Structure 1
Amino acid sequence: MKKLVGTILTATLLLAGCGQQSDEDTSVSAIKPIDINMSLVFTQNELLTQELIQVSDKIRQRTDGSVNIKVFPGGQLPVYKDNLEQVVNGANWIAVEDLSYLGDYVPDFAALAGPMLYNSYDEYLAMMQTDFVADLKQQVEQKGIKVLNADYMFGFRHMITNKEIKNAADMKGMRIRVPGSQLFISTLDSMGASPAALPFPETYAGVQQGVVDGLEGSILTMYSTKIYEVAKNMSLTKHFLGTVGIYISPTLWDKLTAEQQQIVTEELEAGAISNTAELVKLDAEYTQKLEDLGVTFNNVDTAEFSKLTADVYNQFPTWSKDIHRTINMELEKIRAVK
């Protein structure tokens, strides 16, 4: 009898153990790994790329590999408009692009990348926290694009030439290389230059041979591309601030658990803070390096250029009529609390 009771008890314990193991297996398999491609045009060695690689590594570690973001820099995958289309189509995809590309879906978003708006990195970061931008994010999410983060920057753009530029008169007739973007073309034209849409790989030779008189770009660009060998002056116009947003499909986002979403959000925020701190450091470091290489820096008549570029905001019919005034009102509020 004792043997029979012992046998029944042992069997019961074994069955209970098997049932418990089954429950654990179900719990583990409930979170299926998600592979997500992140596409960006920035090259492997650029600051922004390196920061996003670190972010993706930390997300992978903290989610035990269940959120596996693979970073594809240098345009290995579709970029620009095609990048955003992957997101809108609901692919397992994260697009890293300039805010202006959101303008194809919510036009006023492009105006946030317009000329002569921000005086500092902090002003841009504060703008991204306003109710005005929150409303634009809500609108674009309804179009199939969730803005995970818009705090990543890669520097102010300035005039890089062999001539000191202080005002519009100094730029008159100068052929300045710009990307093939209407916003860039309109801006440089309003500043007094003759914009020339030249492929970037041809720019060094273009300046060297006198095809163009210079280009516009950041301090980091001037150093990393060795443009300083053919252009020895940087006029600090700050006519554009280089920024990008991190975008995902709302459908894909909803496939992540609440915990996974929190981890992704936290790591992207931490990466943006790290990127800004490093950007400030590199701006100072590369300014010194360029000065040591014979580059001269000079300030410009910012007020004049701001006045001249104001009409650019009227050249895009899809933008709200008073968008320039609206953005400047937000910036005035930001500046008032400094």
Structure 2
Amino acid sequence: MRYYAILLVILCFGLVSCKQESDSKVLYLAHTLPQTHPVHKGILTFQEALEKKSKGSLKIKIFPDGQLGSEREVLELLQIGSVAVTKVSAATMSNFVPEYHVLGIPYLFKSKEHQFNVLEGEVGKSILEKGSKFWLRGLCYYDAGSRSFYTSSKAIRTPDDLKGLKIRVMNNQMAINMVNAMGGSATPMAYGELYTAIQQGVVDGAENNPPSFVSSNHYEVSKYYTLDQHSSVPDVLLIGTKFWEKLSAQERLWVQEAADESAQAQKIFWNESVKASMETAKAAGVEIIIPEKALFAEKSKSVLEEFVKEHPEMTELVNKIKAE
């Protein structure tokens, strides 16, 4: 019902993915994040770079804060051509393109450098292109950091400390399997309900990256933050193929170059945000725990084993990533 309400608003205001204004084409870009978020700052870089490269012939109008719906709803708007560009989590994209599931495997990436060598290389680009058959062409990846555990009343120093704890996760099977494999009790829940759920003890904690931990104010109700960095699921900047196919070869080049430039700038914005977020959490009295990550990686090995057993066609892709 909400999806149709959003679509009605779009139609009423005459929004389409590409609107001609004098000699300029305007791309409508929607995402769910606040304007203070480092990903939004990366999108602003994309906007500025594209207008500069095209000398104003391609412009972007941004709709942040979920104005046009959830990630999945906006992806559907791209598919029908009502919106041109969006940013979503690779976890959301895995509902459309199975290869994106691989990027959520715990401890698949050895380091941040390894992760972006993969994402910005042949493997990452091939995954971006696979979305085209679903009308969702990937342009680049944005850094979304590493997810770690935070809890309200019990510190997690080893995987054994997760036993008996209800940990909120995204409604994503790999995230559920990971927490359960480590000994916790995975509890899928809407993100907007999480603050109150932690505060009232409905769940014992959750897992997310530092900027989200702080921007959501979850640090106010969580005393411990354990930097086990179990998964590093990137964000993806996408353009609808219905719009992409209307662009000339030169316009496509401008869009891709602007996206690539924004990806590099966004990494800097992300690192700055992580540093500021950790300082805020520490100042609020949150205990920051640096655990032995190898213990958590060992406990979660079964997630990868089960994944390739269920999806043998993904084995080659996993091996390519490990070999990078």
Q: Do residues 234 (structure 1) and 222 (structure 2) align?
A: no
What is the aligned-residue identity percentage?
A: 22
> Residue 174 of structure 1 contacts residue 213 of structure 1 at CA under 8 Å; is this kept in 2?
yes
The residue number in structure 2 matching 1:256 is: 247
Query: For structure 2, which runs of at least 5 residues remain unmatched after alignment?
Result: 1-19
Alpha carbons of structure 1 residues 82 and 314: separation in structure 2 relative to 1, 3 Å: farther
Match of 1:266 among 243, 254, 257: 257
Structure 2 letter corresponding to 1:229 = E
1:317 to partner: Cα distance: 8.5
The residue number in structure 1 matching 2:140 is: 149
1:262 to partner: Cα distance: 2.3
Range that drifts further, 313-322 or 259-268:
313-322
Q: Do residues 330 (structure 1) and 282 (structure 2) align?
A: no
> Residue 313 of structure 1 contacts residue 324 of structure 1 at CA under 8 Å; is this kept in 2?
no
> Residue 89 of structure 2 contacts residue 236 of structure 2 at CA under 8 Å; is this kept in 1?
yes
SS of the residue corresponding to residue 154 of structure 1 reads: coil
Task: Supply the RMSD in Å over aligned alpha carbons.
Answer: 2.6
Structure 1 letter corresponding to 2:320 = E
1:49 to partner: Cα distance: 1.0
Alignment of 1:188-199 (within 5 A): 188-199=179-190
The residue number in structure 1 matching 2:93 is: 102
1:79 to partner: Cα distance: 3.0
Distance, in Å, in 1 between the alignment partners of 2:218 and 2:97 is 36
Pairs aligned (count):
303
Match of 2:150 among 160, 165, 170: 160
Alpha carbons of structure 1 residues 32 and 254: separation in structure 2 relative to 1, 3 Å: farther
SS of the residue corresponding to residue 192 of structure 2 reads: helix
Distance, in Å, in 2 between the alignment partners of 1:218 and 1:259 is 37
Distance, in Å, in 2 between the alignment partners of 1:310 and 1:288 is 32
1:78 to partner: Cα distance: 3.2
Partner deviation per Cα, 1:18-43 (whole Å, 9 max, x = no partner): xxxxxxxxxxx9x9532222121112
The residue number in structure 2 matching 1:203 is: 194
The residue number in structure 2 matching 1:42 is: 33
Distance, in Å, in 2 between the alignment partners of 1:140 and 1:222 is 30
> Residue 29 of structure 2 contacts residue 60 of structure 2 at CA under 8 Å; is this kept in 1?
yes
Structure 1 letter corresponding to 2:195 = Y
Alignment of 1:1-338 (within 5 A): 33-150=24-141, 152-161=142-151, 162-313=153-304, 320-321=311-312, 323=314, 326-327=317-318, 329-334=319-324
Range that drifts further, 199-208 or 132-141:
132-141
SS of the residue corresponding to residue 112 of structure 1 reads: helix
> Residue 35 of structure 1 contacts residue 70 of structure 1 at CA under 8 Å; is this kept in 2?
yes
Range that drifts further, 166-175 or 129-138:
129-138
Partner deviation per Cα, 1:188-242 (whole Å, 9 max, x = no partner): 1122111222332332222222221111111112222332222121111212224
Range that drifts further, 86-95 or 315-324:
315-324
Distance, in Å, in 2 between the alignment partners of 1:43 and 1:36 is 20
1:290 to partner: Cα distance: 2.1
Distance, in Å, in 2 between the alignment partners of 1:300 and 1:181 is 25
1:259 to partner: Cα distance: 2.8
> Residue 147 of structure 1 contacts residue 245 of structure 1 at CA under 8 Å; is this kept in 2?
yes
Structure whose alpha-carbon radius of gyration is higher: 1
1:303 to partner: Cα distance: 2.5
Partner deviation per Cα, 1:280-329 (whole Å, 9 max, x = no partner): 233233323322322222223422322332333455699632636742x3
Distance, in Å, in 2 between the alignment partners of 1:173 and 1:32 is 62
Structure 1 letter corresponding to 2:145 = G
SS of the residue corresponding to residue 312 of structure 2 reads: coil
SS of the residue corresponding to residue 36 of structure 2 reads: coil
SS of the residue corresponding to residue 164 of structure 1 reads: coil
> Residue 91 of structure 1 contacts residue 252 of structure 1 at CA under 8 Å; is this kept in 2?
no
Distance, in Å, in 2 between the alignment partners of 1:184 and 1:39 is 26
> Residue 40 of structure 1 contacts residue 74 of structure 1 at CA under 8 Å; is this kept in 2?
yes
1:173 to partner: Cα distance: 0.7
TM-score (norm 1): 0.80
SS of the residue corresponding to residue 155 of structure 1 reads: coil
SS of the residue corresponding to residue 108 of structure 1 reads: helix
> Residue 91 of structure 2 contacts residue 101 of structure 2 at CA under 8 Å; is this kept in 1?
yes
